[in-house]
């Protein structure tokens, strides 16, 4: 008889997830079967559920890509892992390993890549399967609930900050202090950067301040561009994790000359477009770049910061059964820090 497990399953876009019993997956060649301990709820999961992006997710879908768990069973052909090892599963489920981008260490932009909890079943379940080659190793004994958000929010903002080119001592504006942004503030501080935090909710700015942001700006109360230019003379770099296109437009104008803005947030749908000043970008030699999750090397480095206590997600745990309420809270912008589903 096939063993079954509890999972939260999306059957149609824009409908609530259903808590169901589904078969426990079998690890294929090169795969690990992972017993999920914790899975963070990323705004990308909400975009998946709401069908904000093109192409839409593969349905029926078990979302979730901030997974911390333990190896339950090792599939054929896997070496270097054994049952009980602590592992994490990120958004990058796999990449082809052969294309020009994979060969150049840019596996995050492989066109043949698969995505955990989007094209492949993810961690809103008691068990999941993932290729051993792409699974992150977590140091034994770390708190799996605090570690789970590092698998997406952590690695993504860490890479985004590296791509921002900001050097120690320089100012970075973190625009959007949600699940990603509050962790970005911490990586920035750990990397020796000075932080100006921008959001539209006072409780998120209070969190940013407690995590080391020297300047906080409420974009709902003041013009955030003028505030950042006045308070710090413009930012050397900006990292945008907000979910409103306006914030992406504003972030370009928060830069000082020669500054770089790195886009991470993906509002999607009608909010996928911005208007920008060509002359501002040209005359001041500004750079606008994207950053897509992180490579396996980025992940190892991002995990090391957390394991060394330099970065710690502010979390609240919830049961899998609460997922639809959590997604609704996120839709309304009411979550401070990250919610992590407790699977075990
Ligand atoms: P979240 O909902 O936790 O946080 C979003 C934050 O943006 C909230 O704090 C909200 O108050 C703030 N915000 C909204 N409008 C704003 C505005 N006008 N100015 C400033 N702040 C504003 O979401 P999250 O989990 O942190 O994810 C953020 C975005 O990043 C999502 O679009 C998600 O899909 C995307 N994402 C991208 C990648 C990538 O690899 N590029 C990886 C993970 C997540
Ligand atoms: Zn994510
Ligand atoms: Zn590739």
CA 295 – ligand 3 centroid, Å: 12
Identify the sign of the CA torsion 158, 160, 162, 166: negative
CATH 3.40.50.720 residue spans of the chain: 154-290
Q: Which of 2-6, 167-171, 195-199 has the lowest mean pLDDT?
A: 2-6
Q: How far apart are CA 89 and CA 122, in angstroms?
A: 9
C-beta of 318 in contact with ligand 1 (< 6 A) = no
Name the pTM for this structure: 0.98
Domain 4-149+294-342 adopts which CATH fold?
Answer: Quinone Oxidoreductase; Chain A, domain 1 (3.90.180)
pLDDT in tens, 104-148: 999 999 999 999 999 999 999 999 999 999 999 999 999 999 999
C-beta of 199 in contact with ligand 1 (< 6 A) = yes
Q: Which residues are found with C-beta within 5 Å of the ion, ligand 3? A: 95-96, 99, 102, 110
pLDDT at residue 277 greater than cutoff 70: yes
Strands (E), the chain: 4-9, 18-23, 31-40, 67-74, 86-89, 92-94, 114-115, 127-131, 136-137, 171-175, 194-199, 215-218, 235-240, 255-263, 287-290, 315-319, 338-342
CA 153 – ligand 1 centroid, Å: 10
Domain 154-290 adopts which CATH fold?
Answer: Rossmann fold (3.40.50)
pLDDT in tens, 150-174: 999 999 999 999 999 999 999 999 9
CATH 3.90.180.10 residue spans of the chain: 4-149+294-342
CA 245 – ligand 2 centroid, Å: 18
């Amino acid at each position: 008889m096939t063993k079954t497990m509890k999972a939260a399953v999306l059957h149609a876009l824009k409908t609530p997830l259903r808590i169901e019993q589904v078969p426990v997956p079998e690890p294929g060649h090169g795969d690990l079967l992972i017993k999920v301990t914790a899975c963070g709820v990323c705004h990308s999961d909400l975009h998946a559920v709401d069908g904000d992006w093109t192409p839409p997710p593969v349905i029926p879908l078990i979302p979730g890509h901030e997974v911390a768990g333990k190896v339950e069973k090792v599939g054929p052909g896997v070496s270097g892992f054994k049952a009980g090892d602590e592992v994490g599963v990120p958004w990058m489920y796999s990449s082809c390993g052969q294309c020009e981008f994979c060969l150049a260490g840019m596996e995050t932009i492989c066109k043949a890549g698969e995505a955990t909890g989007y094209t492949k079943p993810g961690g809103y379940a008691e068990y999941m399967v993932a290729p051993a080659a792409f699974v992150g190793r977590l140091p034994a004994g770390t708190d799996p609930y605090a570690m789970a958000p590092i698998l997406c929010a952590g690695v993504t903002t860490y890479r985004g900050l590296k791509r921002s080119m900001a050097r120690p001592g320089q100012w970075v504006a973190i625009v959007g202090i949600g699940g990603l942004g509050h962790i970005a503030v911490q990586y920035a501080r750990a990397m020796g950067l000075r932080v100006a935090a921008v959001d539209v909710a006072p409780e998120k700015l209070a969190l940013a301040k407690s995590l080391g942001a020297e300047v906080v700006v409420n974009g709902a109360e003041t013009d955030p561009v003028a505030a950042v230019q006045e308070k710090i003379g413009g930012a050397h770099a900006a990292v945008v994790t907000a979910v409103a296109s306006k914030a992406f437009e504003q972030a370009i104008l928060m830069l000082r000359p020669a500054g770089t803005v790195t886009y991470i947030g993906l509002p999607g749908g009608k909010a996928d477009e911005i208007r920008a000043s060509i002359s501002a970008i040209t005359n001041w030699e500004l750079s606008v770049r994207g950053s897509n999750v992180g490579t396996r090397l980025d992940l190892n480095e991002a995990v090391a910061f957390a394991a060394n206590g330099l970065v710690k997600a502010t979390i609240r745990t919830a049961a899998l059964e609460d997922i639809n309420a959590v997604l609704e809270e996120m839709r309304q912008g009411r979550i401070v820090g990250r919610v992590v589903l407790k699977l075990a």
